[in-house]
Structure 1
Amino acid sequence: MQVDKFINEKYARLLLFFCGWSVSPTFFYTMKAEEDQDVWFVSDYRDLNFNEDLSVYRSVTLIAWSLGVWVAEQLFGGRSSVVWEQKIAINGTGCPIHDTEGIPEVIFRGTLDNLTPDGIRRFNRRMCASKERLAAWERVPSRPLEEISDELRFLFQAIQARKDKPVSFSWDQAIVGLSDRIFPTANQLAHWQRRNVRIKEIEAPHDPFGLWKQWNELSVK
Protein backbone atom coordinates (compact mmCIF):
# COMPACT_ATOMS: atom_id res chain seq x y z
CA MET A 1 0.00 0.00 0.00
CA GLN A 2 1.24 3.45 -0.89
CA VAL A 3 0.43 6.69 0.95
CA ASP A 4 1.23 9.72 -1.18
CA LYS A 5 1.37 12.77 1.11
CA PHE A 6 0.61 15.30 -1.59
CA ILE A 7 0.12 18.14 0.91
CA ASN A 8 1.73 17.48 4.28
CA GLU A 9 2.11 20.84 6.02
CA LYS A 10 0.97 19.54 9.44
CA TYR A 11 -2.36 21.30 9.23
CA ALA A 12 -5.01 20.35 11.80
CA ARG A 13 -7.32 18.82 9.19
CA LEU A 14 -6.66 15.99 6.75
CA LEU A 15 -8.35 14.97 3.53
CA LEU A 16 -7.66 11.26 3.03
CA PHE A 17 -8.55 9.85 -0.40
CA PHE A 18 -8.56 6.14 -1.24
CA CYS A 19 -8.03 5.61 -4.97
CA GLY A 20 -9.53 2.80 -7.00
CA TRP A 21 -7.65 -0.23 -8.27
CA SER A 22 -4.83 0.42 -10.77
CA VAL A 23 -5.05 4.20 -10.38
CA SER A 24 -2.06 6.51 -10.08
CA PRO A 25 -2.64 9.22 -7.45
CA THR A 26 -1.16 11.79 -9.83
CA PHE A 27 -4.49 11.80 -11.69
CA PHE A 28 -6.04 13.65 -8.74
CA TYR A 29 -3.34 16.27 -8.21
CA THR A 30 -5.40 18.96 -9.94
CA MET A 31 -8.27 18.68 -7.45
CA LYS A 32 -8.11 21.65 -5.05
CA ALA A 33 -8.21 21.22 -1.28
CA GLU A 34 -9.16 23.76 1.36
CA GLU A 35 -6.36 26.00 2.55
CA ASP A 36 -6.06 24.40 6.00
CA GLN A 37 -6.03 20.73 4.91
CA ASP A 38 -3.30 18.22 4.36
CA VAL A 39 -4.09 15.87 1.47
CA TRP A 40 -3.01 12.23 1.34
CA PHE A 41 -3.73 9.72 -1.41
CA VAL A 42 -3.80 5.97 -0.68
CA SER A 43 -3.28 3.52 -3.54
CA ASP A 44 -1.54 0.31 -4.62
CA TYR A 45 -3.51 -2.26 -2.64
CA ARG A 46 -1.09 -5.16 -2.78
CA ASP A 47 -1.37 -5.36 0.99
CA LEU A 48 -3.57 -3.84 3.69
CA ASN A 49 -0.81 -2.27 5.77
CA PHE A 50 -1.64 1.28 6.83
CA ASN A 51 0.60 2.48 9.64
CA GLU A 52 -0.13 6.21 9.65
CA ASP A 53 -1.22 7.91 12.87
CA LEU A 54 -4.38 9.87 12.09
CA SER A 55 -5.05 10.77 15.72
CA VAL A 56 -2.70 13.74 15.35
CA TYR A 57 -5.37 15.47 13.23
CA ARG A 58 -8.20 17.45 14.74
CA SER A 59 -10.46 15.99 12.04
CA VAL A 60 -10.21 13.77 8.98
CA THR A 61 -12.37 13.81 5.86
CA LEU A 62 -12.40 10.36 4.28
CA ILE A 63 -13.28 10.01 0.60
CA ALA A 64 -13.01 6.58 -1.00
CA TRP A 65 -13.70 5.52 -4.56
CA SER A 66 -14.43 2.16 -6.13
CA LEU A 67 -12.49 -0.72 -4.51
CA GLY A 68 -10.98 1.90 -2.19
CA VAL A 69 -14.33 1.90 -0.36
CA TRP A 70 -13.81 -1.70 0.74
CA VAL A 71 -10.16 -1.09 1.62
CA ALA A 72 -11.06 1.90 3.81
CA GLU A 73 -13.69 -0.15 5.64
CA GLN A 74 -11.19 -2.91 6.34
CA LEU A 75 -8.64 -0.46 7.73
CA PHE A 76 -10.92 1.71 9.81
CA GLY A 77 -13.75 -0.56 10.91
CA GLY A 78 -13.88 -0.37 14.69
CA ARG A 79 -11.04 2.17 14.85
CA SER A 80 -11.95 4.79 17.45
CA SER A 81 -8.87 7.03 17.52
CA VAL A 82 -9.84 9.02 14.42
CA VAL A 83 -12.08 12.09 14.61
CA TRP A 84 -13.99 11.94 11.34
CA GLU A 85 -15.23 15.18 9.81
CA GLN A 86 -17.12 13.29 7.13
CA LYS A 87 -16.90 9.96 5.34
CA ILE A 88 -17.95 9.71 1.70
CA ALA A 89 -18.02 6.60 -0.49
CA ILE A 90 -18.07 6.99 -4.29
CA ASN A 91 -19.11 4.27 -6.75
CA GLY A 92 -18.12 1.35 -4.58
CA THR A 93 -19.57 -0.82 -1.82
CA GLY A 94 -18.53 -2.80 1.22
CA CYS A 95 -19.34 -6.01 -0.74
CA PRO A 96 -17.26 -5.43 -3.87
CA ILE A 97 -17.54 -8.98 -5.20
CA HIS A 98 -21.25 -9.69 -4.93
CA ASP A 99 -23.94 -10.47 -7.47
CA THR A 100 -26.49 -8.05 -5.99
CA GLU A 101 -24.45 -5.56 -3.95
CA GLY A 102 -21.17 -5.18 -5.82
CA ILE A 103 -19.44 -6.34 -8.98
CA PRO A 104 -20.88 -9.72 -10.00
CA GLU A 105 -18.26 -12.38 -9.42
CA VAL A 106 -18.22 -13.55 -13.05
CA ILE A 107 -17.45 -9.98 -14.16
CA PHE A 108 -14.73 -9.54 -11.54
CA ARG A 109 -13.13 -12.82 -12.56
CA GLY A 110 -13.37 -11.80 -16.21
CA THR A 111 -11.38 -8.66 -15.50
CA LEU A 112 -8.86 -10.69 -13.52
CA ASP A 113 -8.47 -13.15 -16.41
CA ASN A 114 -7.92 -10.38 -18.98
CA LEU A 115 -5.17 -8.30 -17.42
CA THR A 116 -3.49 -7.40 -20.69
CA PRO A 117 -2.91 -3.94 -22.19
CA ASP A 118 -6.04 -4.43 -24.33
CA GLY A 119 -7.99 -5.67 -21.31
CA ILE A 120 -7.00 -2.64 -19.26
CA ARG A 121 -8.00 -0.32 -22.08
CA ARG A 122 -11.42 -2.01 -22.32
CA PHE A 123 -11.81 -1.58 -18.57
CA ASN A 124 -10.92 2.12 -18.84
CA ARG A 125 -13.42 2.61 -21.65
CA ARG A 126 -16.17 1.17 -19.45
CA MET A 127 -15.02 3.37 -16.58
CA CYS A 128 -15.21 6.60 -18.56
CA ALA A 129 -18.23 8.20 -20.18
CA SER A 130 -16.50 9.87 -23.08
CA LYS A 131 -13.46 9.84 -25.31
CA GLU A 132 -12.35 13.06 -23.61
CA ARG A 133 -12.28 11.44 -20.16
CA LEU A 134 -10.52 8.36 -21.52
CA ALA A 135 -7.92 10.63 -23.09
CA ALA A 136 -7.47 12.38 -19.73
CA TRP A 137 -6.77 9.04 -18.03
CA GLU A 138 -4.35 8.03 -20.76
CA ARG A 139 -2.36 11.25 -20.40
CA VAL A 140 -1.37 10.15 -16.89
CA PRO A 141 1.50 7.64 -16.91
CA SER A 142 0.06 4.24 -16.09
CA ARG A 143 1.39 1.96 -13.40
CA PRO A 144 3.22 -1.19 -14.58
CA LEU A 145 0.91 -3.97 -15.75
CA GLU A 146 2.57 -6.54 -13.49
CA GLU A 147 2.00 -4.28 -10.49
CA ILE A 148 -1.70 -3.66 -11.11
CA SER A 149 -2.20 -7.36 -11.93
CA ASP A 150 -0.74 -8.31 -8.56
CA GLU A 151 -2.91 -5.68 -6.93
CA LEU A 152 -6.16 -7.03 -8.36
CA ARG A 153 -5.24 -10.62 -7.52
CA PHE A 154 -4.47 -9.60 -3.94
CA LEU A 155 -7.76 -7.73 -3.66
CA PHE A 156 -9.73 -10.64 -5.08
CA GLN A 157 -8.20 -13.06 -2.58
CA ALA A 158 -8.55 -10.66 0.37
CA ILE A 159 -12.16 -9.84 -0.41
CA GLN A 160 -13.08 -13.51 -0.76
CA ALA A 161 -11.26 -14.39 2.47
CA ARG A 162 -13.15 -11.70 4.41
CA LYS A 163 -16.58 -11.89 2.81
CA ASP A 164 -18.09 -13.65 5.83
CA LYS A 165 -16.40 -11.29 8.30
CA PRO A 166 -18.27 -7.97 8.01
CA VAL A 167 -16.73 -4.92 9.64
CA SER A 168 -18.56 -2.15 11.45
CA PHE A 169 -18.12 1.13 9.64
CA SER A 170 -20.57 3.98 9.09
CA TRP A 171 -20.43 6.25 6.05
CA ASP A 172 -22.10 9.65 6.03
CA GLN A 173 -22.94 9.53 2.35
CA ALA A 174 -22.64 7.27 -0.68
CA ILE A 175 -22.37 8.94 -4.07
CA VAL A 176 -23.76 6.65 -6.78
CA GLY A 177 -23.21 7.17 -10.52
CA LEU A 178 -26.33 6.39 -12.53
CA SER A 179 -24.25 5.27 -15.53
CA ASP A 180 -21.69 3.15 -13.68
CA ARG A 181 -20.57 0.20 -15.83
CA ILE A 182 -18.11 -1.18 -13.25
CA PHE A 183 -20.16 -1.29 -10.03
CA PRO A 184 -23.74 -1.66 -11.33
CA THR A 185 -25.89 1.22 -10.13
CA ALA A 186 -28.70 -1.05 -8.92
CA ASN A 187 -26.25 -3.08 -6.83
CA GLN A 188 -24.80 0.05 -5.23
CA LEU A 189 -28.26 1.33 -4.36
CA ALA A 190 -29.26 -2.03 -2.86
CA HIS A 191 -26.12 -2.12 -0.73
CA TRP A 192 -26.40 1.37 0.69
CA GLN A 193 -30.14 1.14 1.24
CA ARG A 194 -29.60 -2.04 3.26
CA ARG A 195 -27.07 -0.19 5.39
CA ASN A 196 -29.26 2.91 5.77
CA VAL A 197 -26.57 5.20 4.35
CA ARG A 198 -27.61 8.49 2.83
CA ILE A 199 -27.41 8.22 -0.98
CA LYS A 200 -26.66 10.96 -3.48
CA GLU A 201 -27.36 9.93 -7.07
CA ILE A 202 -25.43 11.70 -9.83
CA GLU A 203 -25.42 11.52 -13.60
CA ALA A 204 -21.97 10.01 -14.01
CA PRO A 205 -20.09 6.86 -15.00
CA HIS A 206 -17.74 4.96 -12.72
CA ASP A 207 -15.25 7.82 -13.08
CA PRO A 208 -17.21 10.87 -11.92
CA PHE A 209 -14.26 13.16 -11.30
CA GLY A 210 -14.78 15.23 -14.40
CA LEU A 211 -17.69 16.81 -12.51
CA TRP A 212 -15.55 18.41 -9.80
CA LYS A 213 -12.57 20.72 -9.49
CA GLN A 214 -12.42 20.95 -5.67
CA TRP A 215 -12.69 18.25 -3.02
CA ASN A 216 -15.22 20.27 -1.02
CA GLU A 217 -17.70 19.93 -3.89
CA LEU A 218 -18.21 16.37 -2.63
CA SER A 219 -19.10 17.47 0.90
CA VAL A 220 -22.21 16.11 2.56
CA LYS A 221 -24.99 18.69 2.28
Structure 2
Amino acid sequence: MKTYIRRFERNDQLVVFYGGWGTDENVFTPLCNDDFDFILFYNYSADEALVLPEMKVYRKITLIGWSLGVWAAEYLSLKTGIKPNLTIAVNGTPVPADDQYGIPLKIFEGTLNNMTEENMEKFYLRMFGDKRTYRMNADRIPHRSIKSLNDELRWLYNRIMEQTEPGFRWDYAVSSEIDRVFPSENVNSYWKKEKSTRHIVLPLPHYLFNRWNSFSEFINFVEQFRKKRATGRKKEETVIKDL
Protein backbone atom coordinates (compact mmCIF):
# COMPACT_ATOMS: atom_id res chain seq x y z
CA MET A 1 0.00 0.00 0.00
CA LYS A 2 1.13 3.51 -0.82
CA THR A 3 0.64 6.64 1.25
CA TYR A 4 0.65 10.23 0.05
CA ILE A 5 0.85 12.91 2.75
CA ARG A 6 0.41 16.66 2.45
CA ARG A 7 0.44 18.74 5.64
CA PHE A 8 0.95 22.27 6.94
CA GLU A 9 1.71 23.16 10.53
CA ARG A 10 -1.11 25.67 10.91
CA ASN A 11 -3.95 23.45 9.69
CA ASP A 12 -6.52 22.13 12.15
CA GLN A 13 -8.46 19.96 9.67
CA LEU A 14 -7.47 16.64 8.12
CA VAL A 15 -8.93 14.79 5.13
CA VAL A 16 -8.16 11.06 5.03
CA PHE A 17 -8.91 9.58 1.61
CA TYR A 18 -9.00 5.92 0.61
CA GLY A 19 -8.62 5.79 -3.16
CA GLY A 20 -10.11 3.19 -5.44
CA TRP A 21 -8.29 0.49 -7.36
CA GLY A 22 -5.93 1.63 -10.09
CA THR A 23 -5.42 5.16 -8.79
CA ASP A 24 -2.47 7.25 -7.65
CA GLU A 25 -1.99 10.74 -6.22
CA ASN A 26 -2.53 12.38 -9.63
CA VAL A 27 -6.24 11.59 -9.40
CA PHE A 28 -6.74 13.53 -6.17
CA THR A 29 -4.05 16.19 -5.65
CA PRO A 30 -5.92 18.72 -7.87
CA LEU A 31 -8.49 18.81 -5.05
CA CYS A 32 -5.94 19.68 -2.38
CA ASN A 33 -5.38 23.21 -1.12
CA ASP A 34 -3.62 24.76 1.85
CA ASP A 35 -6.72 24.76 4.07
CA PHE A 36 -6.39 21.17 5.29
CA ASP A 37 -3.89 18.38 5.76
CA PHE A 38 -4.34 15.39 3.48
CA ILE A 39 -3.52 11.69 3.73
CA LEU A 40 -4.19 9.43 0.74
CA PHE A 41 -4.05 5.64 0.87
CA TYR A 42 -3.90 3.85 -2.48
CA ASN A 43 -2.31 0.96 -4.41
CA TYR A 44 -3.35 -1.75 -1.97
CA SER A 45 -0.98 -4.40 -3.29
CA ALA A 46 0.38 -6.03 -0.14
CA ASP A 47 -0.01 -6.26 3.61
CA GLU A 48 2.60 -3.57 4.13
CA ALA A 49 3.25 -1.53 7.23
CA LEU A 50 1.27 1.70 7.32
CA VAL A 51 3.22 4.90 6.78
CA LEU A 52 1.69 7.66 8.88
CA PRO A 53 2.97 11.05 9.97
CA GLU A 54 3.15 11.97 13.62
CA MET A 55 -0.46 12.85 14.31
CA LYS A 56 -1.45 16.36 15.30
CA VAL A 57 -4.55 17.33 17.25
CA TYR A 58 -7.16 18.25 14.65
CA ARG A 59 -10.39 20.14 15.12
CA LYS A 60 -12.02 17.99 12.44
CA ILE A 61 -11.06 14.78 10.65
CA THR A 62 -13.05 13.76 7.58
CA LEU A 63 -12.65 10.28 6.11
CA ILE A 64 -13.69 9.68 2.50
CA GLY A 65 -13.74 6.28 0.83
CA TRP A 66 -14.22 6.23 -2.93
CA SER A 67 -14.99 3.18 -5.09
CA LEU A 68 -13.07 0.19 -3.68
CA GLY A 69 -11.73 2.64 -1.13
CA VAL A 70 -15.01 2.26 0.76
CA TRP A 71 -14.07 -1.35 1.46
CA ALA A 72 -10.43 -0.38 2.10
CA ALA A 73 -11.49 2.18 4.71
CA GLU A 74 -13.35 -0.50 6.64
CA TYR A 75 -10.46 -2.94 6.31
CA LEU A 76 -7.70 -0.54 7.32
CA SER A 77 -9.22 2.02 9.68
CA LEU A 78 -8.56 0.08 12.85
CA LYS A 79 -4.94 -0.34 11.79
CA THR A 80 -4.44 3.39 11.20
CA GLY A 81 -5.87 4.43 14.55
CA ILE A 82 -7.34 7.55 12.92
CA LYS A 83 -10.71 8.46 14.44
CA PRO A 84 -12.76 10.61 12.06
CA ASN A 85 -15.51 13.06 12.99
CA LEU A 86 -17.22 12.62 9.63
CA THR A 87 -17.27 9.68 7.20
CA ILE A 88 -18.37 9.76 3.56
CA ALA A 89 -18.64 6.76 1.23
CA VAL A 90 -18.58 7.68 -2.46
CA ASN A 91 -19.63 5.34 -5.29
CA GLY A 92 -18.82 2.13 -3.49
CA THR A 93 -19.99 -0.25 -0.79
CA PRO A 94 -18.33 -2.35 1.92
CA VAL A 95 -19.09 -5.45 -0.20
CA PRO A 96 -17.53 -4.43 -3.54
CA ALA A 97 -17.44 -7.82 -5.28
CA ASP A 98 -21.05 -8.88 -4.96
CA ASP A 99 -23.88 -9.56 -7.40
CA GLN A 100 -26.42 -7.69 -5.26
CA TYR A 101 -24.51 -4.91 -3.52
CA GLY A 102 -21.30 -4.33 -5.52
CA ILE A 103 -19.59 -5.11 -8.81
CA PRO A 104 -20.96 -8.43 -10.11
CA LEU A 105 -18.45 -11.17 -9.40
CA LYS A 106 -18.04 -12.22 -13.06
CA ILE A 107 -17.17 -8.65 -14.05
CA PHE A 108 -14.75 -8.26 -11.13
CA GLU A 109 -13.00 -11.52 -11.99
CA GLY A 110 -13.07 -10.72 -15.71
CA THR A 111 -11.25 -7.45 -15.06
CA LEU A 112 -8.65 -9.28 -12.99
CA ASN A 113 -8.06 -11.97 -15.61
CA ASN A 114 -8.01 -9.73 -18.69
CA MET A 115 -5.82 -6.79 -17.73
CA THR A 116 -4.17 -5.06 -20.69
CA GLU A 117 -3.23 -1.48 -21.59
CA GLU A 118 -6.23 -1.33 -23.91
CA ASN A 119 -8.65 -2.60 -21.27
CA MET A 120 -7.27 -0.17 -18.67
CA GLU A 121 -7.87 2.73 -21.03
CA LYS A 122 -11.47 1.54 -21.36
CA PHE A 123 -11.72 1.29 -17.57
CA TYR A 124 -10.53 4.87 -17.04
CA LEU A 125 -12.94 6.02 -19.75
CA ARG A 126 -15.80 4.40 -17.83
CA MET A 127 -14.48 5.94 -14.62
CA PHE A 128 -14.76 9.47 -16.03
CA GLY A 129 -18.04 8.70 -17.80
CA ASP A 130 -17.42 9.74 -21.42
CA LYS A 131 -14.64 10.58 -23.88
CA ARG A 132 -14.97 14.34 -23.48
CA THR A 133 -14.64 14.24 -19.69
CA TYR A 134 -11.84 11.70 -19.99
CA ARG A 135 -9.84 14.01 -22.26
CA MET A 136 -10.55 17.09 -20.14
CA ASN A 137 -9.15 15.29 -17.09
CA ALA A 138 -6.04 13.85 -18.76
CA ASP A 139 -3.89 15.21 -15.93
CA ARG A 140 -5.83 13.05 -13.45
CA ILE A 141 -5.31 9.74 -15.24
CA PRO A 142 -3.13 7.48 -13.05
CA HIS A 143 0.39 6.48 -14.10
CA ARG A 144 0.52 2.82 -13.17
CA SER A 145 2.09 -0.27 -14.73
CA ILE A 146 -0.06 -3.25 -15.69
CA LYS A 147 1.86 -5.37 -13.19
CA SER A 148 1.13 -3.00 -10.31
CA LEU A 149 -2.54 -2.83 -11.30
CA ASN A 150 -2.78 -6.61 -11.50
CA ASP A 151 -0.98 -7.12 -8.20
CA GLU A 152 -3.26 -4.64 -6.48
CA LEU A 153 -6.53 -6.05 -7.82
CA ARG A 154 -5.47 -9.61 -7.00
CA TRP A 155 -4.62 -8.59 -3.44
CA LEU A 156 -7.95 -6.78 -3.12
CA TYR A 157 -9.87 -9.74 -4.52
CA ASN A 158 -8.24 -12.15 -2.07
CA ARG A 159 -8.87 -9.89 0.93
CA ILE A 160 -12.45 -9.15 -0.12
CA MET A 161 -13.21 -12.87 -0.39
CA GLU A 162 -12.00 -13.27 3.20
CA GLN A 163 -13.94 -10.34 4.61
CA THR A 164 -16.23 -10.47 7.60
CA GLU A 165 -19.47 -8.55 8.06
CA PRO A 166 -19.14 -4.77 7.54
CA GLY A 167 -19.11 -2.83 10.79
CA PHE A 168 -17.96 0.70 9.95
CA ARG A 169 -20.09 3.78 10.61
CA TRP A 170 -20.74 5.84 7.48
CA ASP A 171 -22.44 9.19 8.02
CA TYR A 172 -23.07 9.84 4.33
CA ALA A 173 -23.12 7.75 1.18
CA VAL A 174 -22.90 9.51 -2.18
CA SER A 175 -23.75 7.52 -5.29
CA SER A 176 -23.94 8.36 -9.00
CA GLU A 177 -26.79 7.58 -11.34
CA ILE A 178 -24.52 7.15 -14.38
CA ASP A 179 -21.80 5.12 -12.70
CA ARG A 180 -20.20 2.77 -15.25
CA VAL A 181 -17.99 0.98 -12.72
CA PHE A 182 -20.25 0.15 -9.76
CA PRO A 183 -23.81 -0.57 -10.97
CA SER A 184 -25.94 2.20 -9.47
CA GLU A 185 -28.77 -0.23 -8.72
CA ASN A 186 -26.47 -2.33 -6.54
CA VAL A 187 -24.98 0.65 -4.72
CA ASN A 188 -28.42 2.12 -4.08
CA SER A 189 -29.72 -1.24 -2.85
CA TYR A 190 -26.94 -1.44 -0.28
CA TRP A 191 -27.30 2.07 1.12
CA LYS A 192 -31.09 1.89 1.11
CA LYS A 193 -30.93 -0.71 3.86
CA GLU A 194 -28.41 1.30 5.93
CA LYS A 195 -30.91 3.49 7.76
CA SER A 196 -28.30 5.36 9.82
CA THR A 197 -26.49 6.61 6.69
CA ARG A 198 -27.80 9.63 4.79
CA HIS A 199 -27.83 8.65 1.11
CA ILE A 200 -27.29 11.25 -1.61
CA VAL A 201 -27.85 10.33 -5.28
CA LEU A 202 -26.38 12.58 -7.98
CA PRO A 203 -26.57 12.56 -11.81
CA LEU A 204 -22.80 12.09 -12.23
CA PRO A 205 -20.27 9.41 -13.31
CA HIS A 206 -18.10 7.19 -11.11
CA TYR A 207 -15.35 9.80 -10.76
CA LEU A 208 -17.29 12.89 -9.75
CA PHE A 209 -14.76 15.00 -7.86
CA ASN A 210 -13.92 17.17 -10.87
CA ARG A 211 -17.22 18.96 -10.21
CA TRP A 212 -15.66 20.61 -7.15
CA ASN A 213 -12.55 22.76 -6.84
CA SER A 214 -11.37 21.15 -3.61
CA PHE A 215 -12.19 18.49 -1.07
CA SER A 216 -13.33 21.30 1.22
CA GLU A 217 -16.01 22.26 -1.30
CA PHE A 218 -17.09 18.65 -1.73
CA ILE A 219 -17.33 18.04 2.02
CA ASN A 220 -19.31 21.25 2.49
CA PHE A 221 -21.67 20.23 -0.31
CA VAL A 222 -22.30 16.85 1.31
CA GLU A 223 -22.88 18.31 4.76
CA GLN A 224 -25.26 20.96 3.42
CA PHE A 225 -27.21 18.59 1.22
CA ARG A 226 -30.69 18.28 2.74
CA LYS A 227 -32.65 16.88 -0.17
CA LYS A 228 -33.54 13.20 -0.13
CA ARG A 229 -34.01 11.30 -3.36
CA ALA A 230 -37.77 11.37 -2.84
CA THR A 231 -37.83 15.16 -3.30
CA GLY A 232 -37.30 14.70 -7.01
CA ARG A 233 -34.47 14.27 -9.46
CA LYS A 234 -34.98 17.70 -11.01
CA LYS A 235 -34.11 19.50 -7.78
CA GLU A 236 -30.99 17.38 -7.34
CA GLU A 237 -29.80 18.13 -10.87
CA THR A 238 -30.33 21.85 -10.26
CA VAL A 239 -28.03 21.71 -7.27
CA ILE A 240 -25.27 20.09 -9.34
CA LYS A 241 -25.55 22.55 -12.23
CA ASP A 242 -25.12 25.46 -9.83
CA LEU A 243 -21.73 24.21 -8.56
Verify same fold: TM over 0.5: yes
Displacement after TM superposition at 1:141 (Å): 5.4
Give the conservation status (yes or no) of the 8 Å contact 1:93–1:191.
Answer: yes
Q: Which has the higher helix share?
A: 2
CA 1:211/1:114 → structure 2, altered by over 3 Å: closer, same or farther?
A: same
CA distance in 2, matches of 1:152, 1:204: 25
Partner residue of 1:128? Answer: 128
The corresponding residue for 1:42 is: 41
* Whole-Å separation in 1 of the counterparts to 2:127 and 2:80: 34
The answer to whether the 8 A contact 2:18-2:65 is kept is yes
After superposition, the Cα gap between the structure-2 partners of 1:150 and 1:10, relative to the gap in structure 1 and judged at 3 Å, is farther
- Per-residue displacement from partner, 1:56-82 (whole Å, max 9, x unpaired)? 4323111111001100011125x7954
Whether the 8 Å CA contact 1:24–1:142 is kept in 2: the answer is yes
Distance 1:191 1:54 in 2: 36
How many positions carry a matched residue from both structures? 217
1:92 lines up with 2:92 in the alignment: yes
Sequence identity of aligned pairs in percent?
A: 30
Q: Are residue 76 (structure 1) and residue 66 (structure 2) matched? A: no
Counterpart in the other structure of 1:166: 165
Partner of 1:188: 187
> Which segments of 5 or more consecutive residues in structure 1 lack a partner in the other structure?
none
Structure 2: distance between partners of 1:32 and 1:46 = 25
Instruction: State the SS of the aligned residue for 1:96.
Output: coil
Deviations 1:12-37 (A, max 9, x none): 321111111111212222214462x2
CA contact (8 A) 1:34 1:216 kept: no
Secondary structure of 2:169's partner? coil
* Shift in CA distance, 51/159, structure 1 to aligned 2, threshold 3 Å: same
Helix, strand or coil at the partner of 2:30: coil
Moved over 6 A (4+): none
What is the TM-score normalised by the length of structure 2?
0.81
CA contact (8 A) 2:50 2:80 kept: no
Amino acid of the residue matched to residue 101 of structure 1?
Answer: Y
Residue 156 of structure 2 aligns to which amino acid in structure 1? L
- Contact 1:10–1:38 (Cα < 8 Å) also in 2: no
Aligned match of 1:154: 155
CA separation in 2, counterparts of 1:60 and 1:66? 20
2:218 aligned partner: 218
| Alignment RMSD | 2.2
